[in-house]
Structure 1
Amino acid sequence: MMLSWRRRRAAARLARNNNLNNDDSGDHLEMEISIPPHFRCPISFDLMKDPVTLSTGITYDRESIEKWIEDGNQTCPVTNQVLLSFDQIPNHFIRKIIQDWCVENRSYGIERIPTPRIPITPYEVSEICKRIMGATQRRDHKKCEELVVKIKNWGKESERNKRCIVDNGTGCVLAAAFESFAEATSTSSAAEKYTDLLVEILSVLVWMLPFGGEGQTRLGSMSSLRCITWLLKNSGDLSARQNAVLVLKELLYLDEKHVNALVEIGVIQALVELIKEPICPASTKASLMVIFYMISPSTISDKIASTFVELDFVSLIIEILVDGDKSICEKALGVLDHVCDSIEGRQKAYENALTIPVLFQKILASELSSKFSVSILWKLCKNEKSEEGGVVAEALQLKVGAFQKLLILLQVGCDNSTKEKVTELLKLLNLGRAKLDCIGSSMDFRYLKKSY
C-alpha cells in the first residue's frame, strides 16, 4: 500500500531552481513513499502509534484493538483465535523502529510519533481514590488537591484513561470529597481556603457526567449546592463558573427537587448574570437549561416567576433570540414559553416591541423553535385582556408573513398540540384581519360622494 506525502520545502526549492512556471509543475510537488506493511495496524491499516501485542502474538495499534474488544469481540482479528487473555503488552521494539523510520523520512513531511504513555490501570485508580478518602477525612485539602490534579492529568493523556477513571468509582469519591469540604465552608475565609480544591474537583466531575445515585446525592446536598452557587457567584476563574453551572444542569435534569433549595440559596441572580455576560456558548446553554428546569410547570411558583421578571429576564431572552444560534435560541424559547405561563411574564412579553416579530421569525427555524414559538404566541393571544387584540393586530402588520408561516407549518407537519394551537392562531388572525378590512372599507366609503 502507498501513502502520499507532500515534500513542500524540497518541491519549492526544485520549482525555484528550474523556474517551473507551467501548469504541469504540480506533478513534481507530490512524491509517494511506501509504509512497510508490518508498521501498519491489521485493523485500521494506518501507521501504528502505540503498538501492543496480544496473547496470540499479533501486534495492533492500541486504540484499534481496544475498540475491537470493547465492541464485544473475543477473538484475535487476524488469527480468529479465542483470546484467553485481553492483556495488551506494549511492543517497544516495533514502536522504536517505527519512530526511526519516521525520522529517516522526515524530509517527506512525516512526523515522528511520540512515545506513548503507559495507560493507567484500575488498581492505580483504586489506590488514588483511597488516598483521596484518607485526605478528606484528615481535612488535608492540600494533599487532596494534589491527588485530584493527578487524576485530572491522567484524564488529559487519553480517552482510555478517562474511561478507566470513570469506570472505577472515582465520581462518587470526588463527590463525597466535595461535600465534605463544602460543609466546612460556612465562612468566607473557609470558602477561600478550600476554593482551589473545590474548583479542581468540579473540573474533573464535569467529564464524569451523568452522575450515579450516590454522587447525585452528595452533590445535591444543601452544603454542596450552596458551595456550587458560591463558586458561580464569586469565582474569578471563568472555567470554574462554567463547570459549576454544568453540574447544576445535570443535578436538576436528574431531580427537580433541588429547585427550592437553589432559590433559597439565591442562584437566580447568578444565572441571569452569567447569561448577561456569557463565558462561552456552553455556559449560556447550561444556564438556560438550569432556568428551564427551575421554571418548568411542575416546579414554577409565583415567587420564582416574579424574581425572573424583576430582573428584566424577558428582555434578556428577546435579545438572545435576535442574535443567538439555533441551539441557544431553542433553549431560550423553551424558557420564555415557561415564563409566559405567569401573568407577570406575559405582561413583560406584551411590553417588548420585539416579542411578536421575533417569535414569528423563529417559526420554521427548527422543529423545537416552531413548537415553542407557537406555544408562546398562543398564550399571549389567549390571555390578552385588550379588546382590540393588540397581539393579533401587531401580527397582521408584520412583514414576516404570519399567515404564510403558520400555514406552511401545518403543511410540513407538527405534533398534535402544536397543530391545535396553530389552528386557533389562524382563526384569531383571520378574525382580526376581517375586522381590519371592515374598518378600512368604512374609511374608504366615507369620502365617496352620493349619487343623488
Structure 2
Amino acid sequence: MVRDDLYITVPSFFRCPISLDVMKSPVSLCTGVTYDRSSIQRWLDNGNNTCPATMQVLQSKDFVPNRNLQRLIQIWSDSVRDRVDSLESSDSRVSTDSVDSRDQLLVAITDLESGSENRFESLAKIVRFGQDSEENCDFLARTEGFVSVLVGFLDNVDEGLERSVELLEQIVMALNLVLNKIENREGLKNSILKSLKEREVQCLDSLLLVLQQGSVESKIASARVLKSIAVDTESKLLIAEKEGLVTELLKLITPEKDLNLIENALSCLVVISTPKRNKLKLVHLEAVKVFSNLLTSNLNFSVSVTEKVLKLVETVSSTKEGRSEICEEASCVAAIVNKVLKVSNVATEHAVTILWSVCYLFRDQKAQEAVTKANGLTKILLLMQSNCTPQVRQMCVDLLKIFRVNSKSCLSSYDTKTTHIMPF
C-alpha cells in the first residue's frame, strides 16, 4: 500500500501484537487486549487458552469487535492513501511530518477512547494539532466519534480540582475547534444537547468551572460551546437555570476584560436571553447596570460588541421590569441616545427600539428627561432624514409625539430646513 521511501510510521496501537501487521479486523479478548481477528483465531484454534500478550488464562475465549479502533485505522489508512495518490500524481515526496502528526493524533484519540491515564497529554496534543491550521480542524471534524468522546469527558473529572480545570480547559478548547467545521451541524448540536439533558449537572458544572477558573482562551471556548447547545427554549432555560452560570457570563463582560472574551460572552447571552424567564433573570441579576457600564465606557469597542450590548438592552426592555431598570439608569438612556447615529444600521434599530419602549410604550418621565438632556430629539430628527427603515421611522414619529413639540420645546431652536418632516 505504501512505498518504502515514504517512511510512513504506523502507530503501534494499529499493529496486531501477534503478527505485528496493521490490523484489518481488530477484536478484543476478555483481558482487554486487541488483536487482528485472523491472528487470535489461529492462536485459539491451536488449543491455546491464554492471552498472548499477557499470558493470563482466558476466562472466556469469546472476543468482540473493537469498532472504535477499526474506525481509526480506516481513517489513518485513507489519510495515507490520499497522500500516496497525491505523490504519484505530482511525482513528489510525501511530507512525513504531516503524516506523522496525523498518526500521532489518531493515537491520541485512541488514548481518549480507551480511558488512558495520558488523556490530559492526549487532549493537549489534539488542541495543538487543531490550532495549527484550518485543514487540521477539518480533519478532526471528519473523525467519526471524536465529538462524542469529548462530550463524554464533560462529566466530572476526579483528579483533584486543579487538574480537573486543566483537563476541562483542554476538552472545551478541543470541542470549540470543530463546532463550526462539522458538516452535520444539527447532528452535533443534538448530540451535545442530548448529553446535556441526560447529565445536565455534570456538563454544566464543567462548563461553569471553566468560565470561573479557566484561561481567557478556554473561557471563550466554553462560552462558544454554551452558545452552540442553546438551540431551543428548553436548552436555553436549562442553561440559565444553572446556578451561577449567567452571573459568571455577566462578570465576563466588564470593560476591563479581554475584548474577544467580552464579545463571545455577549454572543452567548444574546442567544440564551430570548425566553421571558431568562429576560427576567437578567433583570434580577442587575444586568442593566452591566450593559450600561459597557455603553458608557471610553473603550473603543467594535461595532459588533456595541450591537450585541444594545440587542441585550432591547431584549430586557421588552419586559416591564426591564424597562423600569433602564429608566432608573439615566446614564444608560443617555448612552443609548449616543448610539442612535454613526454606529451601524443594526445598532440604530436597537437603540431606537429601546428609546421607543421606555419613552413611548412605558411613558417614563425620567427616561424622557434623559433623552432631552442628551439632545436625543435632534438626533431623532436627523435620523428621520436618513434612509432609515419604515419601522424605525414610525418609532421616531411616535417618540416626537410623546415630547409634544411646541414653542417651548428644545426643537423650536433647531434651525433646519427639514422641520417639514415633523408629524405635527
Give the structure-1-normalised TM-score.
0.61
> 1:81 maps to which residue?
none
Q: Secondary structure at the match of 1:239?
A: helix
Q: 1:131 maps to what in 2?
A: 111
Match 2:156 to one of 179, 183, 202:
183
Q: Deviations over 1:142-183 (max 9, x none)?
A: 41122222222322443322211111235423433323xx23
Question: How many equivalent residue pairs?
Answer: 320
Find the counterpart in structure 1 of residue 245 from structure 2.
267
Q: What are the Cα deviations for residues 316-350 of structure 1, in whole angstroms up to 9, with x where unaligned?
A: 34335875321110000001111222333222322
Q: Once the two structures are superposed, what CA deviation does each residue of 1:83-118 show, in whole Å capped at 9, x if it has no partner? A: x9982118999789xxxxxxxxxxxxxxxxxx8832
Whether the 8 Å contact between 2:356 and 2:395 is mirrored in structure 1 is yes
Equivalent-residue separation in structure 1 for 2:317 and 2:298 (angstroms): 15
Q: Structure 1 residues 126, 326: closer, same or farther in 2, change over 3 A? A: same
Looking at structure 1, the residues matched to 401 and 121 of structure 2 have their Cα atoms a distance apart, in angstroms, of: 66
Question: What aligned pairs does 1:424-439 form with structure 2 within 5 A after superposition?
Answer: 424-429=398-403, 431=404, 433-434=405-406, 436-437=408-409
CA contact (8 A) 2:255 2:299 kept: no
**What letter corresponds to residue 248 of structure 2 in structure 1?**
A
Distance in structure 1 (CA, Å) of the matches to 2:193 and 2:225 = 10
Pick closer, same or farther for the CA change 1:356–1:161 going to 2, 3 Å.
closer
Task: Give the secondary structure class of the aligned counterpart of 1:347.
Answer: helix
Q: d(CA) in 2 for partners of 1:195 and 1:334?
A: 32
Distance 1:360 1:405 in 2: 12
- Give the aligned partner of residue 332 of structure 1: 309
Q: Which residue matches 1:73?
A: none
Give matches, 1:205-220, under 5 Å: 205-210=175-180, 212=188, 213-218=190-195
Contact 2:227 2:272 in 1 (8 A): no
1:118 equivalenced with 2:93 (yes/no): no
With 329-338 and 86-95 compared, the bigger mean Cα shift is at 86-95
Q: CA deviation at 1:375?
A: 0.6
Note the C-alpha offset of 1:378.
Answer: 0.6
Q: Does the 8 Å CA contact 2:292/2:331 hold for their aligned counterparts?
A: no
Task: Say whether 1:294 aligns with 2:272.
Answer: yes
- Counterpart of 1:87 in structure 2 is 85
Residue by residue, what CA displacement relative to the aligned partner does 1:376-414 show, whole Å, maximum 9, x if unpaired? Answer: 00111124455xx44334434444622333313xx4132
Runs (5+) with no aligned partner, structure 2: 1-5, 7-81, 413-424
Identity of aligned residues (%): 17
1:352 alignment partner in structure 2: 329
Report if aligned partners of 1:333, 1:373 keep a CA contact under 8 Å in 2: yes
Aligned to 1:204: 174
Kept after mapping to 2: 8 A contact 1:318/1:354: no
- 1:154 matched to 2:129: yes
> Structure 1 residue 359: deviation in Å?
1.9
Structure 1 pair 178–349 and aligned structure 2 pair: CA distance change class (3 A): same
> What residue number does 1:341 align with?
318
- Structure-2 separation of matches of 1:320 and 1:255: 33
The 5 A counterparts of 1:434-445 are 434=406, 436-437=408-409
Partner of 2:63: none
Match of 1:258 among 235, 250, 262: 235
CA deviations 1:235-275 (Å, max 9, x no partner) are 3x3322222222222222x3342333333322122112111
The reply on whether 1:165 has 2:128 as its aligned counterpart is no
Quote the Cα distance in structure 1 between the aligned partners of 2:366 and 2:257: 38
Classify 1:361/1:292 alpha carbon distance in 2 versus 1 (closer, same or farther; 3 Å).
Answer: same
Counterparts of 2:302 and 2:315 in 1: how far apart (Å)? 20
Structure 1, unpaired ranges of 5+: 1-51, 53-83, 97-114, 441-452
Could you tell me how far apart the structure 2 residues matched to 1:165 and 1:291 are? 28
Q: Note the alpha carbon deviations across 1:286-343, whole angstroms, 9 max, x for none.
A: 111222223225553534431235x833433433587532111000000111122233
Query: Is the contact made by 2:279 and 2:316 (CA closer than 8 Å) also made in structure 1?
Result: no
Q: Partners of 2:85 and 2:122 in 1: how far apart? A: 27
Query: What SS does the aligned partner of 1:354 have?
Result: helix
Q: Is the 8 A contact 2:296 2:332 kept in 1?
A: no
- Letter of the 1:243 partner, please give it: A
Whether 1:395 and 2:371 are equivalent positions in the alignment is: yes
Are the equivalent residues in 2 in contact too, given 1:357–1:398 (CA < 8 A)?
Answer: yes
RMSD (Å) for aligned C-alpha atoms: 3.7
Q: Within 1, Cα distance between the matches of 2:372 and 2:278?
A: 32
Supply the distance in 2 between the matched residues of 1:184 and 1:151 (Cα, whole angstroms). 19
What CA distance in whole angstroms lies between the structure 1 residues aligned with 2:352 and 2:104? 54
Structure 1 or 2, whichever has the larger Rg, is 1
Measured in 2, the distance between the counterparts of 1:304 and 1:402 equals 29
Deviation at 1:208, TM superposition (A): 0.8
Matched, 1:228 2:207: yes
State the Cα distance separating 1:283 from its structure 2 match. Answer: 1.2
What is the SS of the residue equivalent to 2:118?
helix
Task: Name the CA distance, whole Å, in 2 between partners of 1:161 and 1:303.
Answer: 40
CA distance in 1 between counterparts of 2:125 and 2:250 reads 34
Report the Cα offset of residue 184 of structure 1: 4.5
